[in-house]
Amino acid sequence: ATQACIAATGDQRRWPAEAGASGFIKFFDPAPYSFKRGNTEEEICRAALNELEEQVAYEGAHTIAAIMVEAVTGTNGILKPPKGYLEGVQSLCREHGIIFIWDEVMSGFGRTGKLFGFCHGTNVVPDIFTFAKGVNGAFLPLGGVGVRDHVADHFRSNNVAIGSTYNSHPAVLAPAYAALQVMLKQDILGNVQRMHPHLKGGMQRLLDNHPSVKQARCVGLFGCLDIQKNAKTGEF
């Protein structure tokens, strides 16, 4: 399972573990580092969806079990997808019967100002989504999976032949329950939304004034700075 998870990621930290599990194909994020797909959000969205649609055709839609994305790309740069992109990927998945999986490990439970990253979309509902970290404040290691009814119904009659020794362990579920109570009682989502303009403003000042800051962006309090030796010349 660990080897398959490492193979699934697009993060370069998978390199030491390669060649890993087979069958994982990578595709570009809508916001590549060194080039742009357009000058407007609409142009970038359309170009990225066209590219993905063509890649699905090349690979053969009938060979693709699932498409996996982060609601907001995390470690690779806190990249919020352009408006309409995730809706377009969902439409492509529905058209070809492909399961749409969302990784909410970093973006879930309020970090972006919404409970989950997919809540920023319009009528976007993942078939499967994963979560961890924020669910219990990371006081103890805990992860989980949410599924839509049609996925749950499949596994009710098709059991997965695996075991998990520490599944649903009460010692890690207790802080999750407590953390969610605090989130609701103290209006954590509201606080993230209120603090977002301050973080964004501070990051913009760094971008405007520091020669080594190439880009600055944030979604809620989920933010990132791109640092280079010389942002203007591109020198690393």
Per-residue pLDDT tens over the stretch 53-107: 999 999 999 999 999 999 888 888 888 889 999 999 999 999 999 999 999 999 9
Contact between 20 and 1 (Cβ < 8 Å): no
CB 3 within 8 A of CB 18: no
213-229 b/e (C-beta count within 10 Å ≥ 16 → b): bbbbbbbbbbbbbeeee
Q: How many whole angstroms separate alpha carbon 108 and alpha carbon 114? A: 8
Supply the DSSP string of 87-120, one letter for each residue: HHHHHHHHHHT-EEEEE-TTTTTTTTSSSSGGGG
pTM of the model: 0.86
Dist. CA 216–CA 46, nearest whole Å:
23
Scanning 159-216, the segments in alpha helix (DSSP H) are 170-185, 188-209
pLDDT digits (tens, 9 = 90+) for 171-207: 999 999 999 999 999 999 999 999 999 999 999 999 9
